[in-house]
Amino acid sequence: MLNRKNIEPFRAGIIGCGAITEHLHAPDYAIYEGAVIAALCDANLARAHEMRERFAPEAAVYSDYKEMLRKEPLDGVTVTLPNVLHAAATITSLKAGCHVLVEKPMASSLAEAKRMIAAAKAAKKVLMVNQCQRRSAVHRKAKEVLDSGILGKVLTVAACFGHEGPENWSPTGKWFFNKSQARFGAMADLGVHKADLIRFLTGKEVAEVNAFTARLEKKRATVEDNFVSCLRFTDGSIGTLTASWTTKGMDADYVILHCANGSLRVNEIPGKPLVANLVDPECTIEFELPEPLSVYKDSWGFGVSEGFVRATRGQEKPFCSGIEGAKSLAIILACEKAAESAKTTKVAILK
């Protein structure tokens, strides 16, 4: 960690004070000695004041992020607004001279994502996307195992992320169910996590997809609550990606990778987060996980705020750059088109 005696702390602003800020971003900033939350912004001022009281007693509070950017000397901001507002807030913040960490999905379209990337390049600022599953202990270890080569080439992948719905962890987040604010339902809220994680773990890119969506229980929603897709990678291997807001009675946050020399089961077996079943030599390995990147009592252990700050200071690479976030978004957009057209759809190629 940084020493405040040697380096001035990173002055962070948070735009949006909903559940993701409460459970992830604010706690991560609060524990990291290299940063201070200098400003909090939310259209609901009561929420901003609540976050101030809990995590940043000296922070300024605003209801308009443009005013915040004009008045506060910030080094960077974290954007956690509803999905359709990500691009505008990100581009405005970059033009104001701030580095930006934006929540996933980074944008509502590839055109928006490209404008965000261009704005970061023009401003010479870091743009990162909070594809935070890359930073969990089990996924970092799974990446290490796959990169070691003991399992051989990845042949097929099955990824699933599901829970009972956003209303169960973000009671005030009504926007999740409104297409005009969220743009997507479960496919981007949860599916983009696994789309990105598959890319991160395997190093593969998706070439084309088929997909189905459904609204099975969230009848008042204008977005899908379930999503299933089939993926074909550029090397010819295949996989499946599933996301659901109607998963009940169990955790569903797993990836299974079937490889030439066995299989790797990530968060699929209760109580055994990472297990490899090898063919040669025939054995089963239960891997120990590294320490979480954050240990704040209210945090999820990803240390995303520290990773963001360190990337802006050149101390480590961005864990998910703007272009990486756009590539994962491109998979979801292709799935949406495939579901609407009932046709196999190619994934946009981004470089």
The string of pLDDT tens digits covering residues 106-155 is: 999 999 999 999 999 999 999 999 999 999 999 999 999 999 999 999 99
Name the token pair of 157.
């992948």
The CATH superfamily assigned to 10-133+304-320 is NAD(P)-binding Rossmann-like Domain (3.40.50.720)
- Rounded Cα–Cα distance for residues 295 and 283 (Å): 33
In the β-sheet with 76-79, what is the strand arrangement from edge to edge? 60-62, 35-41, 10-15, 76-79, 99-103, 127-130
CA dihedral of residues 101, 320, 108, 184 (deg, nearest 10): -110
Closest CA to 179 of 84, 267, 109, 85: 84
What is d(CA 262, CA 145) in angstroms, rounded to the nearest whole number?
Answer: 12
Can you tell me whether residue 141 is helix, strand or coil? Answer: helix
What is the model's pTM? 0.95
pLDDT of the chain, 351 residues: tens digit per residue = 444 445 789 999 999 999 999 999 999 999 899 999 999 999 999 999 999 999 999 999 999 999 999 999 999 999 999 999 999 999 999 999 999 999 999 999 999 999 999 999 999 999 999 999 999 999 999 999 999 999 999 999 999 999 999 999 888 889 999 999 999 999 999 999 999 999 999 999 999 999 999 999 999 999 999 999 999 999 999 999 999 999 999 889 999 999 999 999 999 999 999 999 999 999 999 999 999 887 665 567 899 999 999 999 999 999 999 999 999 999 999 999 999 999 999 999 998
Can you say how many angstroms the Cα of residue 331 is from the centroid of all Cα atoms in its chain?
A: 14
**Is the separation of the CB atoms in 162 and 244 below 8 Å?**
yes
Dig out the tokens for 139 from the structure.
Answer: 């996924």
Rounded distance, CA 312 to CA 300, Å? 22
Percent of the chain with pLDDT over 90: 92
How far is it, in rounded angstroms, from Cα 190 to Cα 332?
Answer: 10
Q: Which 8-state DSSP code applies to residue 351?
A: -
Q: Taking each helix axis from N to C terminus, what angle separates 86-95 and 110-123, rounded to the nearest 10 degrees?
A: 10
Residues 75 and 193: their CA atoms lie apart, in Å, by 27
**Domain 134-286+326-346 = CATH 1.10.8.60:** no
What residues form DSSP beta bridges with 162? 244, 252
Domains of the chain, by residue range, sit at 10-133+304-320, 134-286+326-346
